[in-house]
């Protein structure tokens, strides 16, 4: 951010009326007036007001204009609202030019001027200003109030006075307005806005009362005014009220008061914008969304706290974007390879499940998927980091998010309680006790032996090299980068003969060529949610009712439409329930025990 | 509201009890009153700093004129509800001079529509040319909105002018204002001009005249007063609103400013005396803080100029104040009797008025209030009769002593 003083003309400023903060005062001579106004400009958004005049960078424009200021602009922007003959007095003036601050990251410029130059905005702010200072009644006189409507915008107005020993009543009225079109947003920001406005106001008042005390000590107003003798010779001269009102700078004794206000206002605008972000909620959140939300938890101070669960949920950081999480991983998993190299976009990767199925052939794919859904550990070892990672990423879509614990690439074996998806470098050898005790499926990615002619390798070895007859599938046409690899799959577990119901349905969706990949994704989401609901019922059943015998459980499974072969899957998926739901069930069930 | 008791220490004129005033100001209470029943409105307009708020404070809130130097500028319309007696019921809207309420942003129909009188205050100590053009604008526009509106021009702050200057200023303003109206073809509008100042009684007198025009029963009241004075050898009689010292009616003889001031001062004296000596139970009175001034209060004051002042309460807020020659009060009994007749007649006017109101309002609460008040007043009337005019309340002390002097 930087602050520059620029000349701003009415011709180039467009408006985004998300929120505008303005300082207004009640001028003794001219009535309610806008003094200072800070508004954000977002140059990247399309401009409807000025048609073709698409500006890409307002800061740039401002700079260019500052070189050649437009003299006609000032005449154009004079306020029309006044009854007095002289339109401007010291008290009604704030800044000749204005301030601009540009937030380069967010592509927002914050512009402070005396008045908004867009006539439409000006009309609204003026209206709000008049209402705030000469119509609305604030209980206790000083304080925040809310008013407004859809047409004129909704306004939070904080009225306050600044001591001035020259003024009638020894003080002058000011108000800070925040005008937004979004009523809900404004009211929800109230708890944030009001204390911060109060800080700004108290700052101004403190400065001004210091000046006031000094002036009062020098020249007490009370006896002066009471003792003033009016006689025909001096009455016009000595009537102090015709003196022009003093400016805010003079009242506060602070030359840079408007600069300070600019910074304060833009901070409020920016922080207020960051405080609440809107998410469109189309339906009740799925279990996956809740898991995502649990990982991000906003703290009081407005920072995003990363949700870290205890040892058994050790995975969470890994699911965040890798680049963001690096520093944390470094500390926690020093054994993990943490290369920050930029991934080669041409590196061979697996794009989606259909692609993976092509590569692995359906029978192997089926058993791999079966391993995945019942929670056996999946170990993928290979030299090619992106490929390993992409395989794990792809397989994750079989499971609800809560069930996925991923270590994308490691130089050391990790136990299955730590992760169910593990990428390994090929050098790692699985020790004897691992192969004997753990339930896992191991996929090795091996380079094809170059000495063998390509065609001979493909068929006899029954390894699954790249797609053989791809002509029918346009998706992966010409992708021959995976041709150089072969995949070897081995497992210590013998799978039950019958596939879980949900997996059968997932595979059916995959096989159906009429469905696009988006549709397949939607189907997967639905199926997972459907089965998570069954999992919830089961969880509730086991936790809530005390001991359950085999017979009862069987009955329940029958009711929810699960069969014998689904049992293992349901048991595994229970681990994927969100904390929120678990806590809810546990607290309610313990509660019911007590009562 | 632009004034708060706890913020600025306001000095009341004399020993005016707090609880006896109109109570706290109520700003912007816009109940669902149907327009027909709304109280008449008096708008105070004029340039900034012309003294609108000061007038309102001094007349209706007993603020000392010196204190008005420390009033802040009014930034919004301040509505003040004056509704103590049944006759004096209106709202005063103090309109800030900085804002043009004919602007499209405001509902000028609402502001001027239900308005009874428009007082335009001109600062006589200032250059009044701008004020005159504003006056012209306000009058023409308000007249367009509401034809029945009455226009009063206060040539204010005349305390700073010499007597010659006063006359000259009034003549000049009157000339220019009527000329401008005639030029605009609005010669059917009648402007009344008053020279006023908050440092003497002229502002009360001027306000009295404004208020009188808003009382529909004025003719009846004036007629009653005429009958009373002619039958009691009274020289001049005023029917006062005790709190504001506005007289809401007088007899048809011309009003002498000195007489009026004399009567105002008498009210002050009686209130002060009542506060000091007229309290039977000091603690009870403190608790109520009503100044021990009620509908039994009465007083005779004999001045050494051969004039006698006579004050008699009609109800809690209304008082009849009369000036008579010393020889006129020989027959005190007749005056007392005539007063009783007068009071009974005024009660009848009340009843008639309230009956009308009862018919038109559909508010049971309002009816109860009005009727309850009536019964109360009638009851008290009866007790006075049974006591045979003897002063039943603590004021007997005060009145008694005066009576003895007389005998």
What secondary structure does DSSP assign to A334-386, as a single string? TTS----PPPPTTS----SHHHHHHHH-HHHHHHHHHHHHHT-EEEEE-S-HH
Measured between CA atoms, how close is B178 to chain A, in angstroms? 23
Cα separation, A377 vs A407, in Å, equals: 11
Lowest-confidence pick of A22-31, B101-110, B188-197, B276-285: B276-285
pLDDT digits (tens, 9 = 90+) for A186-236: 998 999 999 999 999 999 999 999 999 998 888 877 777 776 655 545 444
Question: Among residues 138-167 of chain A, which lie with CB inside 8 Å of chain B?
Answer: 141, 167
B98/A171 CB distance under 8 A? no
Q: How far apart are the first and last CA of chain B?
A: 51
What pLDDT, on the 0 to 100 scale, is given for residue A95? 84
pTM for the model stands at: 0.61
Beta-carbon separation of B98 and A239 below 8 A:
no
**Mean pLDDT across the stretch A573-580?**
83
B66 touches chain A (CB under 8 A): yes
Token look-up 């009576």 returns: B403
Cβ–Cβ < 8 Å for A50, A101: no
Pick B76's closest partner by Cβ from A29, A135, A235: A135
pLDDT band at B61 (very low <50, low <70, confident <90, very high): confident
Cα distance between residue B143 and residue B149, in whole Å: 7
Per-residue pLDDT reduced to its tens digit, B111-155:
888 778 999 999 988 888 999 999 999 998 899 888 889 999 999
Span B157-178, mean pLDDT?
90
CA of A76, closest CA in chain B: separation in Å?
Answer: 21
Cβ A489 vs Cβ A368: under 8 Å? yes
Q: What is the DSSP letter of A176?
A: E
| pLDDT at residue A321 is higher than 70 | no
**Cβ separation B28–A236 shorter than 8 A:** no
Residue A396 confidence (pLDDT) above 90:
no
Q: Do the beta carbons of residue B94 and residue B74 sit within 8 Å? A: yes
Lowest-pLDDT choice from A218-227, A294-303, B120-129, B231-240: A294-303
The yes/no answer to whether this complex scores an ipTM above 0.85 is no
B26 touches chain A (CB under 8 A): no
Q: How far from B179 is each of B141, B149, B182, CA to CA, in Å?
A: 17, 20, 5
- Which of A134, A169, A239 minimises the CB distance to B96? A134
pLDDT of residue B15: 42
A522-534 residue pLDDT tens: 899 889 888 888 8
**A271: buried, middle or exposed (CB in 10 Å: 19+, 13-18, 0-12)?**
middle
- Do the beta carbons of residue B131 and residue B47 sit within 8 Å? yes
Q: What's the pLDDT at B247?
A: 92
Query: Do A391 and A380 contact (CB within 8 A), yes or no?
Result: yes
Q: Which among B2, B30, B69, B102 is the top mutation candidate for probing chain A, defined by the most A β-carbons within 10 Å of its own β-carbon?
A: B69
pLDDT of amino acid B86: 65
Read off the pLDDT of each residue in B257-265 and give the average, rounded to a whole number: 91
Cα–Cα distances in angstroms (integers) from residue B278 to residues B88, B137, B308, B407, in the given order:
26, 52, 21, 22
Query: Would you say B63 and B8 are in contact if contact means Cβ atoms under 8 Å apart?
Result: no
- Distance separating the N- and C-terminal Cα atoms of chain A: 59
At B295 the pLDDT is: 64
pLDDT band at A587 (very low <50, low <70, confident <90, very high): confident
pLDDT at B407: 35
For B337-349, how does the pLDDT look when each residue is reduced to its tens digit (9 = 90+)? 999 999 999 888 8
pLDDT of residue A318: 43
pLDDT band at B292 (very low <50, low <70, confident <90, very high): low
Which two three-digit tokens encode residue A177?
């307005």
Pairing of strands B89-94, B78-83: antiparallel
DSSP class per residue in A57-121: -HHHHHHHHHHS--THHHHHT-----SSSS---GGG---SS-EEEEETTTTEEEEEESS-SSHHH
Q: Write phi, then psi, for B89 (nearest 5 degrees).
A: -135, 110
Using CB atoms within 10 Å of the CB of residue A594, give its burial: 0 to 12 exposed, 13 to 18 middle, 19+ buried: exposed
pLDDT of residue A351: 81
Asked if the model's pLDDT at residue A122 lies above 60, the reply is yes
- The contacts of residue A233 (CB under 8 Å, 6+ apart) are none
The minimal CB distance from A241 to the residues B49, B75, B130 is found for: B49
The Cα A315–Cα A309 span in angstroms is: 8
Of A32, A133, A169, the CB nearest to B70: A169
pLDDT at residue number B151: 93
Residue among A26, A39, A161 nearest A92 (CA): A26
Q: CB contact, 8 Å: A238 with chain B?
A: no
pLDDT tens per residue, range A145-200: 999 988 888 999 999 999 988 888 888 999 999 999 888 889 989 999 999 999 99
Nearest residue in A to B28, CA atom: A137
Please say if the pLDDT value at position A503 is more than 80. yes
Angle at A225 between CA A224 and CA A228, to 5 degrees: 85
Question: CB of B258 within 8 Å of any CB in chain A?
Answer: no
What's the whole-number average pLDDT of chain B?
76
Torsion angle of the four alpha carbons B62, B63, B64, B65, in this order, in degrees rounded to the nearest 10? -110
Which is more confident, A480 or B157?
B157
Mean pLDDT of A408-416: 83
Among A372-381, A543-552, B316-325, the least confident range: A543-552
For the ranges A459-463, A568-572, A574-578, B333-337, the lowest mean pLDDT is seen at A459-463
Q: Distance (Å) from the C-alpha of residue B364 to the closest C-alpha of chain A? A: 30
Q: Which residue has the higher pLDDT, B96 or A62?
A: B96
**Which pLDDT score is estimated for A44?**
56
pLDDT band per the 50, 70, 90 thresholds, residue B279: low
| pLDDT range class, residue B285, cuts 50, 70, 90 | low
Is residue B70 less than 8 Å (CB to CB) from chain A?
yes
Look at residue B406 in the predicted model and tell me its pLDDT. 38
Residue with tokens 């009242």: A251
Q: Greater confidence, A19 or A220?
A: A19
């Amino acid at each position: 951010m930087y602050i520059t003083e620029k000349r701003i003309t009415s011709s180039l400023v467009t408006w985004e009326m998300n929120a505008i903060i303005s300082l207004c005062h009640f001028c003794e001579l001219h009535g309610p007036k806008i003094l200072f106004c800070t508004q954000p400009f977002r140059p990247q958004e399309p401009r409807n007001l000025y048609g073709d005049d698409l500006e890409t960078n307002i800061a740039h424009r401002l700079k260019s204009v500052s070189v050649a200021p437009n003299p006609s602009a000032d005449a154009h922007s004079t306020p029309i609202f006044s009854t007095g003959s002289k339109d401007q007095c010291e008290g009604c003036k704030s800044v000749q030019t204005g301030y601009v601050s540009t937030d380069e990251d967010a592509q927002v410029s914050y512009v402070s001027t005396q008045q908004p130059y867009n006539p439409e905005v000006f009309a609204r702010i003026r209206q709000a200003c008049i209402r705030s200072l000469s119509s609305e009644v604030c209980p206790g006189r000083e304080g925040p109030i809310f008013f407004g409507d859809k047409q004129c915008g909704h306004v939070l107005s904080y009225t306050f006075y600044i001591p001035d020993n020259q003024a009638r009543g020894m003080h002058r009225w000011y108000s800070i307005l925040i005008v937004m079109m979004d009523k809900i947003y404004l009211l929800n920001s109230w708890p944030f806005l009001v204390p911060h406005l109060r800080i700004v106001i108290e700052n101004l008042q403190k400065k001004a009362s210091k000046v006031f005390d000094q002036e009062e000590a020098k020249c007490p107003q009370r006896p002066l005014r009471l003792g003033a003798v009016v006689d025909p010779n001096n009455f016009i001269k000595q009537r102090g009220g015709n003196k022009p009102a003093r400016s805010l700078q003079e009242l506060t004794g602070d030359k840079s008061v408007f600069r300070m206000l600019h910074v304060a206002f833009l901070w409020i605008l920016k922080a207020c914008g960051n405080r609440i972000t809107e998410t469109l909620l189309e339906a009740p959140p799925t279990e996956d969304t809740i898991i995502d939300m649990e990982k991000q938890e906003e703290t009081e101070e407005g920072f995003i706290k990363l949700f870290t669960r205890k040892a058994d949920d050790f995975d969470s950081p890994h699911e965040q974007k890798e680049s963001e999480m690096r520093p944390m991983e470094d500390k926690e998993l020093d054994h993990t390879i943490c290369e920050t190299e930029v991934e080669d976009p041409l590196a061979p990767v697996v794009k989606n499940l259909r692609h993976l199925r092509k590569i692995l052939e359906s029978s192997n794919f089926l058993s791999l998927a079966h391993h995945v859904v019942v929670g056996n550990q999946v170990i993928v070892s290979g030299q090619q980091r992106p490929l390993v990672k992409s395989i794990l990423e792809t397989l994750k879509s079989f499971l609800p998010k809560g069930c996925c614990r991923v270590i994308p690439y490691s130089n050391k074996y990790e136990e299955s309680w730590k992760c169910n998806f593990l990428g390994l470098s090929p050098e790692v050898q699985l020790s004897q006790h691992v192969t004997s005790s753990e339930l896992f499926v191991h996929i090795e990615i091996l380079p094809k032996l170059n000495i063998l002619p390509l065609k001979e390798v493909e068929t006899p070895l029954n390894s699954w090299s790249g797609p053989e007859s791809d002509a029918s599938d346009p998706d992966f046409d010409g992708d021959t980068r995976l041709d150089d690899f072969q995949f070897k799959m081995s497992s210590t577990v013998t799978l039950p003969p019958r596939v879980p119901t949900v997996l059968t349905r997932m595979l059916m969706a995959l096989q159906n060529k009429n469905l696009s990949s988006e549709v397949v994704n939607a189907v997967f989401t639905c199926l997972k949610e459907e089965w998570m609901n069954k999992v919830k019922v089961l969880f509730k059943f086991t936790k809530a009712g005390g001991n359950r015998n085999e017979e009862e459980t069987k009955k329940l499974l029958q009711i929810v439409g699960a069969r014998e072969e689904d049992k293992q899957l349901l048991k595994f998926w229970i681990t994927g329930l969100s904390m929120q739901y678990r806590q809810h069930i546990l607290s309610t069930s313990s509660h019911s025990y007590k009562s | 509201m632009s004034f708060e008791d706890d913020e600025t220490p306001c000095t009341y004129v004399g020993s005016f009890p707090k609880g006896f005033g109109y109570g706290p100001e109520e700003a912007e209470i816009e109940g669902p009153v149907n327009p027909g029943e709304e109280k008449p409105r008096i708008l105070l307009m004029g340039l900034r700093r012309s003294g609108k708020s000061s007038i309102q404070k001094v007349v209706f809130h007993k603020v000392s004129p010196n204190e008005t130097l420390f009033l802040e500028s009014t930034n919004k319309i301040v509505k003040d509800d004056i509704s103590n007696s049944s006759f004096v019921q209106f709202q005063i809207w103090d309109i800030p001079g900085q804002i043009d309420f004919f602007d499209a942003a405001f509902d000028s129909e609402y502001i001027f529509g239900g308005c009874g009188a428009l007082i335009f205050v001109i600062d006589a100590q200032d250059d009044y040319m701008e004020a005159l053009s504003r006056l012209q604008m306000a009058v023409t526009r308000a007249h367009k909105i509401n034809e029945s509106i009455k226009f009063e021009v206060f040539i204010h702050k005349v305390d700073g002018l010499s007597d010659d200057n006063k006359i000259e200023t009034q003549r000049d303003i009157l000339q220019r204002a009527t000329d401008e109206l005639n030029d605009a073809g609005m010669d059917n509008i009648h402007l009344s001009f008053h020279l006023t100042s908050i440092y003497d009684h002229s502002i009360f007198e001027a306000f009295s005249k404004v208020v009188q025009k808003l009382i529909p029963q004025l003719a009846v009241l004036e007629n009653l007063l005429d009958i009373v004075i002619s039958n009691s050898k009274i020289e001049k009689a005023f029917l006062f609103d005790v709190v504001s010292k506005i007289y809401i009616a007088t007899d048809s003889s011309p009003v002498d400013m000195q007489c009026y001031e004399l009567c105002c001062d008498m009210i002050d004296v009686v209130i002060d005396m009542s506060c000091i000596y007229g309290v039977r139970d000091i603690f009870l009175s403190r608790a109520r803080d009503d100044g021990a001034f009620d509908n039994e209060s009465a007083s005779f004051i004999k001045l050494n100029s051969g004039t006698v002042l006579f004050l008699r309460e009609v109800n809690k807020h209304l008082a009849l104040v009369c000036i008579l020659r010393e020889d006129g009060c020989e027959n005190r009994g007749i005056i007392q009797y005539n007063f009783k007749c007068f009071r009974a007649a005024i009660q009848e006017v009340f009843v008639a008025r309230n009956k009308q109101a009862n018919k038109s309002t559909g508010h049971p609460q309002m009816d109860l209030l009005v009727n309850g008040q009536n019964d109360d007043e009638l009851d008290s009337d009866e007790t006075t009769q049974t006591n045979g005019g003897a002063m039943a309340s603590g004021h007997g002390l005060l009145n008694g002593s005066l009576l003895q002097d007389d005998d």
